[in-house]
Amino acid sequence: MPLTTDGSTPLSSTRIRLALLALALGGFGIGSTEFVAMGLLPNLAQDLLPGVYAASPDAANAQAGWLISAYALGVVVGAPTIAAAAARWPRKQLLLALLTAFTLGTIASALLPSFESVLVARFLAALPHGAYFGIASLVAANLMGPGKRARGIALVLSGLTIANVIGVPIITWIGQTSGWRVAYLVVAGIFALTFAAVAIFVPFQSGNPKATMRAELRAFRRLQVWITLGIGAIGFGGLFAVYTYVAPLVIEITGLPAAAVPLVLVVVGLGMTVGNFAGGALADWSVRRTMYISFAVLIGALVTLGLSAQSLAGLLVGVFLIGAAASALSPTIQARLMDVAHESQSLAAALNHSSLNVGNALGAALGGVAIAGGLGYLAPVWIGVGLSIIGVLLTLVTFSIDRRWRRRGVDVPYGTQLIGVVRDK
């Protein structure tokens, strides 16, 4: 049965599929712009930090990791700010504005001359990231219909994971052969193409006419929102502690040539794609069980990589499972946030990407400190294990609170207490 987006206009199944593909294409562009720096980290370091690189490639790679942290911090800042301020905007128009910002920010990243200016450009280019995924997820959930919320989220995120199978390896190869600046111009082209696809295929969806910034920001008063954000920010850091430094890991620890890095990124991307769709389906079954299963697989995969990265098989199995487990967490955490944030749905959908990119920044920063301190390129893997264990502990806390409220006869997750308030209606 055709779905509607404004309560009156029926949509054909073909139109719905094309709209979902357009939204996923935006995720493809975002995945490309976010993750291509990881495969090109030595190239960025050598070009933007030539003096540091000549003295110490390890130190230059660690400093170049700040570009990844800057992007992640831009997501953290931009997601709640834009989502809360623009919750009343028509969703299609907001998506088009965000895609324009992506295109311009990525072009600036490609053209600016110095490390410091590129650092600023990466921060600015990241500001629309969380808001795009948040609003696109709401649009996709509406298009998918009742009972398929997490699968709608996963479809939007599938563009990001597929980018790691196709886009990131190809663009990494382009960057290695033609220069990293050309690689970023290719990414800008993807965003321009997405703008056209969204303009043509995504139907009108109104924003929330009752939304205000104050009402959206009320989500920050909820303890369960903060705990769930912590699960993403800390637990997801295990992926990025490894992924940020995957290029030197492949070259220095496994002993493969630089040409093998794009192939390893394909394996990571395949894991992410499998995990994303599995996580979306499983989260519609049980958010709680999916989080526990995903963290168990993630910790096991990190330990496997830490013990066997010197071999090709150990490397490939480890990075595939790390990508799969971490990506299964993404739609699951987003579904949990949308549950515990009550009426602040636009903000909740965007906050997931703030929390995951805190994990991005945290994992990259801690891994960089360990490498710069002479602990080697396996040290980030063990940092990832520690971060993931903390994520499990926070997961235990959030669901133990649910159980406490259930014993008191309050429905959960909507019966979640406010910070400083005894109970919530």
- 106 contacts 191 by C-beta, under 8 angstroms: yes
| Tens digit of each residue's pLDDT (9 = 90 or more) over 134-162 | 788 878 877 876 666 667 777 777 887 78
Residue 416 lies in a domain: no
Residue 50 lies in a domain: yes
Beta bridge partners of 412: none
Q: What is the average per-residue pLDDT within 278-284?
A: 80
Predicted TM-score (pTM) of the model is: 0.70
Residue 243 lies in a domain: yes
Residue 2 lies in a domain: no
Residue 8 lies in a domain: no
Residue 412 lies in a domain: no
In this prediction, residue 416 carries a pLDDT of 41
Residue scoring higher pLDDT (99 or 235): 99
In this prediction, residue 2 carries a pLDDT of 41
Per the structure, how many domains does the chain have?
A: 1
In this prediction, residue 423 carries a pLDDT of 34
CATH of the domain at 49: 1.20.1250.20
| Tens digit of each residue's pLDDT (9 = 90 or more) over 383-413 | 989 999 999 999 999 888 888 877 776 555 4
Residue scoring higher pLDDT (199 or 352): 199
Residue 283 lies in a domain: yes
User: Which range has the worst mean pLDDT, 42-51, 181-190, 317-326, 341-350?
Assistant: 341-350
Does 181 have pLDDT greater than 80? Answer: yes
pLDDT band at 415 (very low <50, low <70, confident <90, very high): very low
Range of the domain at 42: 13-407
Name the most confidently modeled range: 15-19, 56-60, 254-258, 387-391. Answer: 387-391
In this prediction, residue 273 carries a pLDDT of 83
